[in-house]
Chains A and B, each alone.
Chain A
Amino acid sequence: MDIEEAVSRTGKGTFEARARAHRAADGGFSRLTAAAAALVLVLLGGVVAALVAGAAPALGRFGGGFLTSISWNPVTGQFGALPALAGTLITSAIAMLVAVPLSFGVTFFLTELCPHRLRRPIGTAIELLAAIPSIIYGIWGLFVLVPLMQAHVEPVLTRLLGPLPLIGALFQGAPYGIGLLTAGLVLAGMVLPYAATVMCDAFEQVPAAFRESAYALGCTRLEVVRAVVIPYSRRSIVGGVMLGLGRALGETMAVTFVIGNAHRLSASLLAPGTTIAATLANEFTEASGGLYTSALLALGLVLLGISLAVLATAKLMLRRDTPAGGRPR
């Protein structure tokens, strides 16, 4: 009994007919999945197009001055992005200054020091930090961290660091609790697990033989990390940091609760400020359309541009030579 006969016995037509049907079904299935994959591209294109179209009136009116003007006044129709842009960059910088050393420490601990039994629970706890929604960090920041900063931390900072030359200017003013510094600290807590997870993955990629050779030469744990692990995973570390930065720049809710939403530039980190995302969250539904809405969309476009640039850099740093899943095809 040959194949053709066997196929025809199923009563569903000839071998050729079934093969044709299979080819048609295969083609259809391939096109369906390709369309779904193309949808991902269409989505990003749609996001960019929608923001560009919406931002056009404001950008046409203010031009490049939109980025450098510090006045944000819906009543007089003056809109400048500089305070929000500066707030975004400053809070993210604070977050990175705090979170990068911490996540590095966590990674060092988890990959080199931690007793094997504790590794999974602690690693899981760090990953749960990343799972908690940002609005929870926001409400925690507002009701727990802000009073703490106001009553205990900020007065001490002003007293200790305020009189110093240069950096003293960063710690002036009344302790409101809310402000750039508090927002940066909440952001640091949010960024930490992202950066730590990427770094842990990178550290674990280092071949055990490299590590063991260094220990065999008599290196201490710190020396193993500095001489072997970091050079081997340098790209991934930078990628993890950039990924965290991308998250910090665009984070909305955790910041909106504690930043104070004030459109002004201040030298002091204790002063209320705003970020692009916080401005959008606070003002977009109140905007009366027209120029105000357009200016907010232009802010969104600026934020998208910065975030995509940072994330694309992170992605390029983290890129491996094989497709995801590590399966060379």
Chain B
Amino acid sequence: MRPRPRLPSRPPLRLTMRRARNAVAIALASAATAIALAFLAAVLWALVARGAAALDLDVFLRSTPPPGAAGGLANALTGSLLLTAAAILAAAPLGILAGTYLAEIGPASPLARSARFVNDLLLSAPSIVVGLFVYQAMVVPAGHFSGWAGAAALAVIALPIIVHTTENTLGLVPDTLREAAAALGAPRWKAVVAVTWRAASQGILTGVLLAVARISGETAPLLFTALNNQFWSANLNRPLANLPVVIFQFAMSPYDDWRDLAWAGALLITAAVLALNILARLAAGRRREAP
């Protein structure tokens, strides 16, 4: 009869300690994730609870009121749409061209190396400093705040995002496509425009959408460029109302009506930003399914 192997009745102390340490680490990591998710939930909950209460049709139809009167955010919504549209119309073509240079035309050139580095700095540079730059470059020479200055500041913030995503997306286009275009005798520019850009169009679109999402909530660079305007206006040559600055002023005010409007505006901005992010994700996702 074979002797039965003797198993230790319980694991040695060292193993117990290792398992205990592991369990503690797992508990802490799970707690950290729970804290992060709770933070997101707390912010969204406050927005929905306080923003929805203040949201009605007037918010979209009437302009910002003086304290104590009824009103809405119509002028700020219009201004924000104009600023964002103007900024993206300027930043998207320039950003796509610059990203094309970095990925296609001269990826290893000294210009590309330095532009890539500087672009990554601009990507995270303090947005308020961009506001100071545009103030010095546009508001001081013009002698007054203006919507164009605000749009320029937002464009400076959007540009590096579009450059970065364009470069990365073009990098994912297989070289066989470029070689096929070249073999057919297509000139370089035509190969880029008709083949590479088309293959990467979803990714480029994702980058533009992310840039729109980013600048539609930017406040700091607008404080000294577009400033604010109490009245409905679509004139980009004058100070222009915009949602973020209105939220800032109204939230910091002592008036309850204004604070309610600030929450309504905050809910609108967040909803728009999250919707844009989800759209961008869908655009990127479709690309991955059909390479």
Contact = CB atoms under 8 A, between A and B. Distances in A.
Interface of A: 22-23, 25-26, 28-30, 32-41, 43-44, 46-47, 50-51, 53-54, 101-106, 108-110, 112-114, 122, 124-129, 131-140, 142-144, 189, 192-193, 196, 220-223, 225, 243, 246-247, 249-253, 256-257, 277, 280-281, 284-285, 297, 300, 303-304, 307-308, 311-312, 314-315, 323-327, 329
Contacts of B187: 22-23, 25-26
Contact of B223 (A29, A46, A134, A284): A284
A44 B127 CA distance: 12
Contacts of B112: 37, 323
A112 B26 CA distance: 9
B83 interface: no
B42 A144 contact: yes
B35 interface: yes
Given A37-B97, A139-B251, A329-B107, 18 more contacts: A38-B115, A40-B119, A40-B159, A44-B122, A47-B125, A50-B137, A109-B32, A129-B36, A134-B219, A142-B252, A196-B36, A222-B21, A223-B18, A250-B125, A252-B128, A253-B219, A304-B129, A311-B120
Say what secondary structure dominates the interface of chain A.
helix
Nearest to A118: B33
A44 to B, nearest CB: 5
Given A131-B213, A250-B126, A54 B26 contact: no
With a 10 A CB-CB cut-off, give which of A133, A134, A250 has the most chain B CB atoms. Answer: A133
Interface stretch (B52-60, B62-70, B261-269): B261-269
Nearest to A253: B219
A297 B137 CA distance: 13
A137 B106 contact: no
Say what secondary structure dominates the interface of chain B.
helix
Given A22-B187, A325-B171, A139 B263 contact: yes
23 contacts: A25-B189, A28-B189, A36-B94, A37-B112, A47-B125, A102-B36, A105-B32, A113-B26, A114-B33, A128-B40, A132-B43, A133-B270, A135-B244, A189-B39, A222-B26, A246-B124, A256-B248, A281-B220, A281-B248, A284-B135, A311-B121, A312-B121, A329-B107
Interface in B100-138: 100-108, 111-112, 114-122, 124-133, 135-137
A249 B195 CA distance: 42
B172 interface: yes
B124 A311 contact: yes
Interface of B: 18-19, 21-22, 25-26, 28-33, 35-37, 39-40, 42-43, 46-47, 50, 94-95, 97-98, 100-108, 111-112, 114-122, 124-133, 135-137, 156, 159-160, 163-164, 167-172, 175, 187-189, 192, 213, 216-220, 223-224, 227, 244, 247-248, 251-252, 259, 262-263, 266, 269-270, 273-274, 277, 281
Q: List 9 tightest A-B contacts by C-beta distance, closest first.
A: A325-B171, A133-B217, A250-B126, A105-B32, A29-B189, A36-B97, A33-B101, A220-B22, A22-B187
Contacts of B31: 105
B210 to A, nearest CB: 8
Contact of B105 (A34, A102, A128, A251): A34
Contacts of B266: 135-136, 139
Given A108-B25, A125-B37, A304 B118 contact: no
Contacts of B127: 250, 252
Contacts, number: 298
B50 to A, nearest CB: 7
A221 B26 CA distance: 8
A43 B263 contact: no
B132 A54 contact: yes
Contacts of B223: 281, 284-285
Contacts of B251: 138-139, 142-143, 257
A131 B122 contact: no
B19 to A, nearest CB: 7
Contact of B252 (A40, A133, A257): A257
A54 B124 CA distance: 22
Contacts of A323: 102-103, 107-108, 112, 116, 167, 171
Nearest to A284: B224
B8 to A, nearest CB: 16
A285 B227 CA distance: 9
A135 B219 contact: yes
Contacts of A101: 32
A252 B159 contact: no
With a 10 A CB-CB cut-off, give which of B32, B107, B259, B273 has the most chain A CB atoms. Answer: B32
A84 B35 CA distance: 30
Nearest to B119: A40
Contacts of B163: 37, 40
A105 B33 contact: yes
Given A252-B126, A281-B220, A30 B22 contact: no
Nearest to A32: B97
B107 A128 contact: no
A47 B133 contact: yes
A277 B128 contact: yes
Given A34-B105, A122-B33, A221-B26, A247 B124 contact: yes
A60 B279 CA distance: 50
A181 to B, nearest CB: 16
